[in-house]
Structure 1
Amino acid sequence: MLEISQRGQAMPVSPFRKLAPYAEAAKAQGKTVYHLNIGQPDIQTPPQLLEAVQRAHIGVLGYSHGAGTESYRRKLAAYYQRTGIPAQFEDVMVTTAGSEAILFAFLTCLNPGDELIVAEPFYGTYTAFAIAAGVKIVTVTAHIEDGFALPPLADFEAVISPRTKAILLCSPSNPTGYVYRRDELEALLGLCQKHDLYLLSDEAYREYCYDGATATSALSLPGSEQHVVVMDTISKRYSACGARIGALVTRNQQVWTAAFRFAQMRISPPGLGMLLGEAAAELPPSYFDETRAEYQARRDLTVRHLRAMPGVSCPVPGGAFYVIARLPVDDAQLFGQWLLEEFSHENQTLMLSPANGFYQTPGLGQQEVRLAYVLNQRDLEAAMVCLAEALKVYPGRVELAEVQLSEAHAS
């Protein structure tokens, strides 16, 4: 009998798309569905990006260098330098979205059977990349009670084994919005230096930190040269998810060279996407002021509504555009399905991501959801009203002990 591979059988359903069939059915019934399940911003893609493609005189849309066009790599390096990251042109490899950068990092830095330490909850697709690369994810757990702050360093050290080859972080975090402080990053880098590990740093949301905070890149830390691999993308930074342009950035020449061999398998990254990327890299830093303020306003609206709902707990995210909330429900996945199948308020409902898909430890996240505050404030307000009304009538509502959020991360 023909069978698919063990990898194919183990590949999980996307945690932010698993309820999509129910959303499609709800729309077919005429309901308005507010999508808070996925990080697809409705912020306008900067017109300059699209104009760059429209103005291009392209006779033949051919292959580029496997690491991307030199012009884009140089402009991207200049962008990194403006943000305090000492990356040179030779350190930058253009990838087909941040997804490919993550996969290349796993394939380059770890062997099949090696272990990768990640704080949970984590970006659910890491699991898929780990399965594809034959890598085992080992978790330490962050908790909603302290705002999903970095777990104690001792927790990381306790799970280091002879098979451990890397620690993976995402800051600002998808799915929690937590922003790692510089001293926390330095501590993680010190642990990697002590145990001869790679530090893989997903920095897709670098520009979106709130309340005056800024993100620190792991590659900007002294002593990071051999240990740090940054995985990046323009998708969220410029609301250009469809461009599928990312980057792998490292000052470790051996890592870069090995990753480039993987890059040669797909010949080159998307040519039109790189034209968009070049235009994005030329935007002034002031571009982010307006979008950052808008996301912060959306965050404030979302958190204000959530905290006004009886039985709901959530920290205040410091960055990105996600919040994890604990709801007074028996099971967040069942609740999410019920929202789409059976509930509507003024013929409207919402789609969310059950948070158990962002944890690896069985049982965790069962009453938590990730909400992406990527919609305009009017639609976001309507979605929050729907959620509040749904919680009043959900038949699986349960009363939870109130979560005490630490002052350091609750406001």
Structure 2
Amino acid sequence: MKNPDPSRSELALPDVIMKALEGGDCIQLLLCKPIDKQVSAFRKVTVRPLVIKGKPHYQFALLRGRQEVHENLLREESVLRIIELWTAHFREGYLFTQHADYHFRKTKQGTISMKKHAPTKALEKESETHNRKKQYLIPEGVPCAFLEAIGVMTDSGKVKSAQYHKFRQINRYMEFINDIVPSLSGSGELNIVDFGCGKSYLTFATYYLFTEILKRRVNITGLDLKQSVVTHCQKIADDLQYDGLNFETGDISRFQSGSRKCDLSISLHACDTATDAAIAAAVCADTDVIMAVPCCQHEIFQQISSLSQSGLLKHGILKEKTASLVTDALRALMLEICGYRTQVIEFIETEHTPKNLLIRAVKRQPRLPMREVRELIRQFQSLKDQYGIDTFYLEQALGEHIQKISQMPGHVMTGIDG
């Protein structure tokens, strides 16, 4: 005797739901109200359509406890998976189509109750989606466990209005990291450090990108001076069951990578010379890719002076902006001298934060020719001289590293402080 078809049982999905899924009319499907209340059970499943290599798929976001996993299945496979999840795990569901919304649930009498409502979501054509709506690595409307845990998103996938700038910032940063993935090791576990991680929005986003989207194994360390922040972030990581994500209390300037090579370092808005300490620690750890979003800069502001630029520097706000630009230019040049290909690019629109520059440095293979290194040194020293800068933290922090470079054949570090 054949096993009964679950799609035909009395608690199966209503025909209108099945037809919408099979015909591609589904804009979003939500399964909720779990039958099993245990922590290990599925809490919620959100399904949305997408196209992969020209073929229609559905993407599943499955929330178990506070851990979320994604599955991308062909449309036919998706329907069977939805039937399985609905039959075994959930009591209630919502379907959104361009023609109507449907709310369906299992009743105590062993039947299915369904209500039909006016549509609340529009089905966008692919071209319209590209033109009108930003395609984020973490899409809107799809629940994401770590964004919910850090207060950016609700459990239904809605981005909180007060946190929308943070949502955009996280996605923007993930795009920058995604761009440099080809510069990282193509296999094995990646070692990543977030210097001055703070509330760790980007630490969690980095973990999510590599493990959930790119399917890579990682060992990520979030480093911060505040024990309370470290304890809070570690609890979130443990609740999400994010293996390979750990937080430690420590001073950036005293960081030691040990025997492990660092593949990627990130730092977001580390104040003043803490950004330089993070860059220096990353260079000394032989990091392949360094990404830093600087914050306030007081070191250069206190020194900067120039007779030729006196008309500019006599205005406090302009002097502050000039000091910031000069500081980041010196950082970029120092990274170039140390063997990195460096870019200074806009991080996020200035309407959200005035500290909107990202320094992205990728280790060169092979190193620059010696004559080009000498030219970079000349530019570095010339910029210091032009603005009357005597001391620069990053230059001093990398003193020993620079000496090693100077001992390489043909590398003469004239003009660089040891």
Under a length normalisation based on structure 2, what TM-score does the superposition of the two structures give? 0.31
Q: Whose strand fraction is larger, Structure 1's or Structure 2's?
A: 2
Which one scores higher on RCO, CA 8 angstroms, separation ≥ 6?
Answer: 1
The structure with more radius of gyration: 2
